[in-house]
Chain A
Amino acid sequence: GENVEQHPSTLSVQEGDSAVIKCTYSDSASNYFPWYKQELGKGPQLIIDIRSNVGEKKDQRIAVTLNKTAKHFSLHITETQPEDSAVYFCAASPLGPLAGSARQLTFGSGTQLTVLP
């Protein structure tokens, strides 16, 4: 089955700096890679996703890059703000984009991001 590794487990940055979280996956059939943000006491919330036919995707201060050859993908947050502090999870699914939605997502272990004011 799929195995997703996520690094680092904790990350502290100064407000305004950039944050980068990296994930690797094992199943070459995986082609859907979402990122989730989990705030304290809440469920994970999808913030951005990327499919294997795209190498990079950006949404305001958040961007995700994918290297299928190396089987790794990364989340980049620029101009970090205190409200970005949360746990971030990457995930991967081996199911095809033709179906539209991932089913069995395998999650990374999470990164606790702290943005220091």
Chain B
Amino acid sequence: DAGVIQSPRHEVTEMGQEVTLRCKPISGHDYLFWYRQTMMRGLELLIYFNNNVPIDDSGMPEDRFSAKMPNASFSTLKIQPSEPRDSAVYFCASSSDRGHGYTFGSGTRLTVV
């Protein structure tokens, strides 16, 4: 199993531009999570899905952030328009009711200049 796959690994964009982060969960996992990691705030849960349905998006900071999961093997996190304070590492993780804990991807390091 290739694990949770995120792309891109690094993204540098200008303020105001749209950014799309992508995630492929582990096959058979029915939960998918998006986290943001910064030095100041640590790991913050942004949103999570169960069977492709968003369950809790209370961690999404603003309307500029949106997430979708069109099918069991793909999810996107979109920021539009991006701002410098969005600079962080964004992690995707997946899990299943039969498994143990989360499996995290390698993350996307986003820099907004």
Contacts and interface: CB of A to CB of B under 8 A. Distances in A.
B42 A101 contact: no
Given A43-B91, A107-B43, A109-B42, A99 B97 contact: yes
Interface in B7-33: 31
Given A44-B104, A45-B104, A46-B102, A101 B48 contact: no
A41 B6 CA distance: 13
A contact face: mostly helix, strand, loop, or mixed? loop
A103 B50 CA distance: 9
B101 A46 contact: yes
Interface string A73-108: 000000000000000010000000001111111111
Contacts of B73: none
Contacts of B66: none
B95 A101 contact: yes
Nearest to A32: B101
Contacts of B31: 101, 103
Nearest to B105: A43
Interface residues of B, number: 24
Given A107-B42, A107-B43, A101 B97 contact: yes
Interface in A13-57: 34, 36, 41-46, 49
B1 to A, nearest CB: 14
A104 B48 CA distance: 8
A43 B101 contact: no
B99 interface: yes
A102 B102 contact: yes
Interface string B75-113: 000000000000000010101111111111111000000
Interface of A: 34, 36, 41-46, 49, 89, 99-110
Given A101-B97, A103-B95, 15 more contacts: A34-B100, A43-B91, A43-B107, A44-B91, A44-B104, A46-B100, A49-B100, A100-B99, A101-B95, A101-B101, A102-B101, A104-B45, A106-B45, A107-B43, A110-B43
